[in-house]
């Protein structure tokens, strides 16, 4: 029988691509429940699903921030059984800390962290009873290392990493696997929404130096990073499809080999200084040469002077 795959956040980006790729599996191994908060946005998914719609793919409403919505969504699934849960829904938040409201920060945690926790708590009893299941979490390389002006978003992804790594130990007893997928920059609406957010934001209570670093260093560097090493949502979805079809899925899976050298800096120096100093230099000393610096990292040659004189 096909495995039921429930995915959150399918109106756009990685979630949409993943739902469509699984639904088009030529061996028809999956029955996809593609969910989204606002069903008014289902047009793009339905168009991309084509003939799979109503066959191997159904669309359902799900707001990961609402207990009622989660219960309602699961009650509509045949037998209530979810074999694979993909926690994909997420929101970003960038900007100087002093200029962001606590409510905005809490919303990031409520969506990215508690949204996933809420869904896992709902499907886990069934998976435990059946002694099988797979929980996939779309984390980020920012779940492994902090990124300037992304403190709260990175914290929400670190929270996911700690939570699911802890849970993975217990769940092996139940033959349930967990996979944290860690993309680098992905060219989706995500970045567009964030840039729109910051271009209109005032960032009150932020000193002029910090604003200057954010606007004139971080923002151009971020755009350049997406341009130079950004992946497509199709590529990320392909990696997730592979992970889902694997008989022994890994706990962690990065998706972007061009980003791996940056991620490796933390492992190379457990004190953390190497990563922090390299990030600092990339941003503040090499902004003009950022492309070169990133290429240098991306090709793995690391012929860069990392330590300050």
Determine the interface stretch with ligand NAD among 70-78, 121-129, 187-195, 289-297 (rule: CB under 6 A): 187-195
Nearest residue to 178 (alpha-carbon basis) of 266, 271, 250, 277:
250
Among 98, 165, 189, 196, binds ligand NAD (CB under 6 A): 189
Residue with tokens 């969504």: 73
Among 52, 59, 70, 89, binds ligand NAD (CB under 6 A): 89
7 close to 33: Cβ distance less than 8 angstroms = yes
186 binds ligand NAD (CB under 6 A): yes
Q: Considering only the stretches 93-101, 124-132, 189-197, 272-280, report the one whose residues sit in contact with ligand NAD under the rule CB under 6 A.
A: 189-197
Confirm if 78 and 176 have CB atoms less than 8 A apart.
no
Alpha carbon separation from 83 to 2, 76, 137, 203 (Å, rounded):
9, 15, 14, 44
Q: Quick check: 298 binds ligand NAD (CB under 6 A)?
A: no
Strands (DSSP E) found in the chain: 3-7, 30-36, 57-61, 84-87, 133-138, 176-182, 252-254
User: Does residue 13 interact with ligand NAD by CB under 6 A?
Assistant: yes
Of 4, 5, 8, 145, which one interacts with ligand NAD (CB under 6 A)?
8
Q: How many CA atoms lie within 13 A of 135 on its CB side?
A: 28
- Identify the active-site residue in 153, 218, 259, 275: 153
Residues 111-130 that bind ligand NAD (CB under 6 A): 111, 115
Q: Is the distance from CB of 119 to CB of 179 less than 8 angstroms?
A: no
Choice between 39 and 172, CB closer to ligand NAD: 39
Tell me the C-alpha distance between 105 and 107, whole Å.
5
Applying CB under 6 A, among 6, 15, 42, 118 the residue interacting with ligand NAD is 15
Residue 138 binds ligand NAD (CB under 6 A): yes
Q: Is 153 annotated in the active site?
A: yes
Closest approach, Cβ 140 to ligand NAD, in A, equals 4
Q: Judging by beta carbons within 10 Å of its beta carbon (0-12, 13-18, 19+), is residue 248 exposed, middle or buried?
A: exposed
**Position among 5, 6, 7, 14 found at the interface with ligand NAD (CB under 6 A):** 14
User: CA-to-CA distance for 231 and 236, rounded, in angstroms?
Assistant: 7
* Nearest approach, Cβ of residue 111 and ligand NAD (Å): 5
d(CA 236, CA 39): 24
> Is residue 67 involved in binding ligand NAD (CB under 6 A)?
no
Examine residue 12 and tell whether it contacts ligand NAD (CB under 6 A): yes
Residue 140 within binding range of ligand NAD, rule CB under 6 A:
yes
Partners of 60 in beta bridges: 35
For residues 176 and 128, the answer to whether their CB atoms sit within 8 Å is: yes
**With contact defined as beta carbons under 8 Å apart, do 85 and 135 qualify?**
yes
Interface segment toward ligand NAD; rule CB under 6 A; list 25-33, 58-66, 169-177, 267-275: 58-66
Is position 91 an interface residue for ligand NAD (rule: CB under 6 A)? yes
Binding positions for ligand NAD, rule: CB under 6 A: 8-9, 11-15, 37, 62-65, 88-91, 111, 115, 138, 140, 183, 185-186, 188-191, 233
Instruction: Point out the residues that are catalytic.
Output: 153
């Amino acid at each position: 029988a096909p495995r039921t795959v429930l995915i959150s956040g399918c109106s756009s980006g990685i979630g949409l691509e993943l739902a469509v790729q699984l639904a088009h599996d030529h061996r028809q191994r999956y029955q996809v429940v593609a969910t989204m908060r606002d069903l008014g946005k289902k047009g793009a998914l339905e168009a991309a699903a084509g003939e799979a719609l109503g066959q191997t793919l159904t669309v359902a409403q799900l707001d990961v921030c609402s207990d009622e919505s989660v219960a309602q969504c699961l009650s509509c699934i045949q037998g209530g059984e979810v074999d694979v849960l993909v926690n994909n829904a997420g929101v970003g938040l960038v900007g100087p800390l002093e200029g962001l409201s606590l409510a905005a920060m809490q919303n990031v945690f409520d969506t990215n962290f508690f949204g996933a926790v809420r869904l896992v708590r709902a499907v886990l009893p069934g998976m435990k009873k059946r002694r099988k299941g797979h929980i996939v979490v779309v984390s980020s390389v920012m779940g492994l290392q902090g990124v300037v002006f992304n403190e709260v978003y990175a914290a929400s992804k670190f929270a996911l990493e700690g939570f699911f790594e802890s849970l993975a130990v217990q769940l092996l007893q139940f033959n349930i696997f967990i996979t944290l997928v860690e993309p680098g920059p992905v060219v989706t609406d995500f970045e567009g929404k964030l840039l729109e957010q910051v271009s209109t934001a005032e960032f009150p209570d932020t000193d002029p130096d910090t604003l200057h670093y954010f606007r004139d260093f971080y923002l151009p560097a971020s755009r350049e990073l997406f341009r130079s090493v950004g992946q497509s949502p199709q590529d990320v979805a392909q990696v997730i499809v592979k992970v889902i079809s694997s008989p022994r899925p890994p706990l962690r899976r990065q998706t972007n080999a061009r980003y791996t050298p940056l991620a490796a800096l933390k492992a190379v120096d457990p004190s953390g200084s190497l990563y922090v100093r390299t990030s600092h230099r990339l941003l503040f000393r090499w902004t003009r040469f950022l492309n070169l610096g990133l290429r240098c990292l991306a090709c793995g040659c690391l012929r860069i002077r990392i330590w300050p004189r």
